[in-house]
Amino acid sequence: MKVTIDDVAKMAGVSKTTVSRILNGHFEHATEETKKRVLEVIRELDYRPNALARGLKQMRTNVLGIILSNLQNPYWTRVLEGVEDACRALDYSLMICNSNDDPQLEEEYIRGLQMRQVDGIIINPTMKNFALYESLIRNKYPVVAVNRKVAELELDTVVVDNVMGATLAINQLCKNGRKNIAIMVYPPEGVSPRLERIEGYKLGLSRNGLAVRDSLIRILPEKKGIVREATKELLTQSPEVDAIFSTNNMMTLEILEAIKEQNLRVPQDISLIGYDETVWSKHLDPPLTTVNQPAYEMGEIAVKSLIKRIQAKRPVKPKTTLLEPNLIIRRSCGTK
Do the Cβ atoms of 285 and 302 come closer than 8 Å?
Answer: no
Provide the CATH number for the domain formed by 162-292+327-333 in this structure.
3.40.50.2300
Q: What is the pLDDT of residue 181?
A: 98
Annotated domain spans of the chain: 1-47, 162-292+327-333
Q: Lowest-confidence range among 25-34, 59-68, 180-189, 274-283?
A: 25-34
In the 8-state DSSP scheme, what is residue 287? P
Query: CA 36: distance to chain centroid?
Result: 24
In one-letter notation, the amino acid at residue 162 is: N
- Averaged over 47-51, what is the pLDDT? 64
Query: CA 18: distance to chain centroid?
Result: 32
Contacts of 78 (CB under 8 A, 6+ apart): 295, 296, 299
- CA separation (Å) from 170 to 224, 250, 254, 259? 26, 20, 20, 19
Residue 9 has pLDDT above 60, yes or no: yes
Band (pLDDT 50/70/90 cuts) for residue 1 is: low
Distance of alpha carbon 170 from alpha carbon 181, whole angstroms: 8
Residue 334 has pLDDT above 90, yes or no: yes
Segment 205-252, tens digit of pLDDT: 999 999 999 999 999 999 999 999 999 999 999 999 999 999 999 899
- Averaged over 283-299, what is the pLDDT? 96
- Averaged over 41-47, what is the pLDDT? 82
Segment 50-105, tens digit of pLDDT: 544 443 345 688 999 999 998 888 999 999 999 999 999 999 999 999 999 999 99
Residue 49 has pLDDT above 90, yes or no: no
In one-letter notation, the amino acid at residue 49 is: P
218 bridge partner residues: 184
Q: Across all residues in the chain, what is the average pLDDT? A: 92
CATH class of 1-47: mainly alpha
Segment 312-322, tens digit of pLDDT: 988 889 999 99
Contacts of 21 (CB under 8 A, 6+ apart): 27, 29, 30
In one-letter notation, the amino acid at residue 100 is: N
Distance of alpha carbon 230 from alpha carbon 219, whole angstroms: 10
Extract the runs of DSSP E, i.e. beta strands, from 78-171: 93-98, 120-123, 143-146, 156-160
Q: What is the pLDDT of residue 266?
A: 97
Do the Cβ atoms of 191 and 127 come closer than 8 Å?
Answer: yes
Nearest in space to 247 (alpha carbons), one of 267, 225, 273, 223: 273
Q: What is the pLDDT of residue 56?
A: 38
